[in-house]
């Protein structure tokens, strides 16, 4: 074992949360190394290239946007904690977004980074509900959502105490669930509060360059703080003794030791590494529990024209649903095109005369992992093509009408990710982007020196992911000296 190295902290996964944890630890002098199986950093929020064209995955928008001078919010906290100047992210604000319900989006609520817009729209469309809505908002504002020991409570039950119209209730839940919920039908009220603040009370923005810039800033910060990183170097299993992790066995077989391990790969996925360690030591272990049930497909259409030229220039993000009830659940078929999210990355305010070189239309819908996982390559390709058309057609009902022939003529390239793609590139079991329905606020695992950060710790969204890494590094390691 002459390749053995020892670290104060080993971080598994170079996504947003792992990088943020790494930055904190390296800044305060810990010897830290991040192990990432993929060749690119970013995890669930990353990018890839096909034929020289770069595609973003994950991030539609950075949530939690607040303007300079607004303090005490997650974005401000993370910038301070990571010693990042907010200008480095060069955030450009959304234009406006919508929640559109009904077969043609007949009922619509508009929202922007100015909360008064949503409030006024609720007052106009649901006049009987506005008092209750304001009371709900007051409750959300006063709720301590970053507490590490809050007790779970049904968000549907809390919201119903204030909002009685089921349509308004579903319209509020749709964006909140689509942007972070790992649970079907309902969610923990604490998680609802995190997302409600992130989407409605704060807002959407993105760097002109997209998620690549965020990742680059984090990587540079981590490197300059002295952190090490090993790419294309996954962790195969965790070796334990007496309830503590003693070593990581890497994919290529060598062993690394560390005093602490922070795992950003998910709770069932981390459990699996521990169990694989036990199996290698000859012990039988049950398969991991609580794998997430929700996965997604996303279609990406690259256009030779700006969305504005099709009359699609005003909306940044549209959350849609065509049915009497909004069903946020594992679907019975490969994809559930009844509801979804449309995103136009072009429709941020990038400043005068600055626009993305190509038009981009992204549509996300719920999908079922099991229906995609074991298809033969031919069936997989055929199903992707079929669902691509269905998903895009479904979404276009909520956009100003454009002739098929005009859209086809402008389409330069398309791509689509499926639950299978998610598992392949992120390692999340079941294609579960938002991880397990069971969250671990304190990040504890069955081993006393292995902690979770990221989606299964329970702070949601990209800003939430970074705060999660920060919180876990602080709580378990830095505060203890």
Partner 1 sequence: MTKDECKKLVLDIIADIAPDEDLSNVKPEVRLRDQLQLDSMDFLDIVMELRKRHGIEVPEKDYVQLASLDSCAEYLTPKFDALAGKN
Q: Which residues bind partner 1 (CB under 8 A)?
A: 27-29, 68-69, 71-72, 76-77, 79-81, 83, 85-86, 470, 474, 478-479
52 vs 68, which CB is nearer to partner 1?
68
- How would DSSP label each residue in 303-327? ESS-GGGGT--SEEEEEEE-SSS--
- Cβ distance to partner 1 smaller for residue 25 or 155: 25
Min separation Cβ 27 and partner 1, Å: 8
The sign of the CA dihedral 74, 76, 81, 85 is positive
Cite the DSSP H helix spans in 300-445. 370-373, 377-396, 404-410, 419-426
Helices (H) and strands (E) in the chain, counts: 15, 18
Residue 2 token pair: 């002459």
- Measured from the CB of residue 432, what is the shortest distance to partner 1 in angstroms? 29
| Least separation in angstroms between CB 230 and partner 1 | 25
What's the closest the beta carbon of residue 71 comes to partner 1, in angstroms? 4
Beta carbon nearer to partner 1, 54 or 71: 71
Nearer to partner 1, 69 or 282 (CB): 69
Minimum separation from the CB atom of position 86 to partner 1 (A): 8
Q: For residue 475, which of 14, 24, 35 has the smallest C-alpha distance?
A: 24
Q: How far is the CB of 28 from partner 1 (least distance, A)?
A: 6
With 0-12 CB in 10 A as exposed, 13-18 as middle and 19+ as buried, what is 85? Answer: exposed
Give the Cβ contact number of residue 154 at 10 Å: 14
> Which residue, 28 or 53, is less far from partner 1 as judged by CB?
28
| Angular region, 131: left φ>0, alpha ψ -120 to 50, beta rest | alpha
Q: Which has the closest alpha carbon to 21: 479, 481, 477? A: 477
Minimal distance, residue 217 CB to partner 1, in Å? 15
Residue 474 Cβ, how far from partner 1 at the closest point, in Å? 7
Nearer to partner 1, 317 or 467 (CB): 467
The CB-of-476 to partner 1 minimum distance in angstroms stands at: 13
Q: Which is nearer to partner 1, 74 or 277 (CB)?
A: 74
The dihedral sign for the CA sequence 13, 368, 364, 415: positive
Helix (H) or strand (E) holding 174: helix 166-178
* Nearest-approach distance from CB 211 to partner 1, in angstroms: 24
Nearer to partner 1, 76 or 390 (CB): 76
Instruction: Please say whether the beta carbons of 462 and 62 come within 8 A.
Output: yes
Nearest to 171, CA basis, from 398, 324, 296 = 324
Q: Which is nearer to partner 1, 226 or 357 (CB)?
A: 226
Could you give the C-alpha distances from 23 to 31, 130, 229, 235, 260, in angstroms and in order? 11, 44, 11, 20, 15
Closer Cβ to partner 1, 28 or 281, answer by number: 28
Distance (Å, whole) CA 398 – CA 73: 33
Angle at 464 between CA 423 and CA 391, to 5 degrees: 45
Spatial neighbors of 432 by CB under 8 A, at least 6 apart, are: 182, 266, 291, 292, 293, 294, 295, 369, 422
């Amino acid at each position: 074992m002459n390749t053995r190295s020892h670290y104060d902290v080993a971080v598994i996964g170079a996504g947003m949360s792992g990088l943020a944890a790494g930055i904190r630890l390296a800044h305060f002098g810990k010897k830290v190394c991040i192990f990432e199986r993929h060749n690119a950093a970013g995890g669930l929020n990353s990018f890839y290239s096909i034929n020289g064209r770069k595609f973003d995955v994950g991030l539609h928008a950075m949530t939690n946007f607040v303007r300079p001078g607004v303090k005490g919010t997650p974005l401000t906290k993370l910038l301070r904690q990571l010693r990042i100047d907010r200008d480095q992210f060069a955030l450009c604000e959304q234009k406006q977004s919508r929640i559109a319900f009904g077969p043609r989006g007949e009922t619509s609520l508009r929202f922007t980074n100015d909360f008064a817009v949503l409030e006024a729209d609720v007052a106009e469309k649901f006049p009987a509900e506005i008092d209750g809505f304001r009371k709900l908002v007051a409750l959300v504002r006063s709720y301590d959502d970053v507490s590490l020991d809050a007790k779970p409570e049904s968000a549907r039950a809390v919201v119903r105490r204030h909002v009685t119209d089921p349509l308004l209730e579903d319209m509020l839940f749709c964006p909140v669930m689509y942007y972070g919920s790992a649970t079907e039908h309902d969610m923990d009220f604490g998680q609802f509060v995190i997302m409600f603040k992130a989407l409605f009370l704060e807002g959407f923005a993105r760097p002109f360059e997209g998620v690549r810039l965020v990742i680059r800033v984090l990587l540079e910060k981590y490197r300059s703080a002295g952190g090490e990183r090993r790419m294309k170097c996954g962790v195969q299993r965790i070796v334990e003794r007496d309830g503590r992790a003693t070593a990581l066995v890497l994919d290529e077989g060598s062993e690394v030791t560390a005093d602490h391990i922070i795992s950003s790969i998910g709770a069932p996925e981390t459990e699996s590494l521990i169990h694989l360690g036990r199996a290698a030591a000859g012990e039988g272990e049950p398969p991991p529990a609580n794998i997430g049930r929700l996965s997604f497909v996303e279609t990406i259409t690259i256009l030779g024209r700006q969305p504005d030229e099709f009359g699609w220039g005003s909306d940044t993000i549209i959350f849609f649903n065509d049915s009497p009830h909004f069903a946020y659940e594992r679907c019975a078929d490969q994809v559930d095109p009844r509801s979804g999210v449309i995103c136009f990355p072009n429709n941020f305010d990038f400043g005068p005369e600055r626009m993305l070189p190509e038009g981009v239309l992204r549509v996300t819908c719920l999908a079922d992992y099991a229906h995609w996982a074991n298809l033969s390559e031919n069936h997989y390709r055929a199903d992707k093509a079929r669902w691509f058309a269905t998903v895009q057609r479904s979404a276009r009902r909520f956009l100003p009408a454009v002739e098929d022939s005009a859209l086809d003529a402008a389409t330069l390239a398309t791509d689509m990710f499926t639950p299978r793609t998610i598992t392949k590139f992120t390692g999340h079991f079941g294609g579960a982007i938002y991880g397990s329905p069971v969250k671990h606020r304190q990040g504890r695992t069955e081993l006393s020196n292995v902690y979770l950060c990221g989606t299964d710790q329970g702070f949601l969204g990209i800003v939430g992911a970074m705060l999660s890494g920060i919180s876990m590094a602080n709580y378990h390691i830095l505060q203890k000296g």
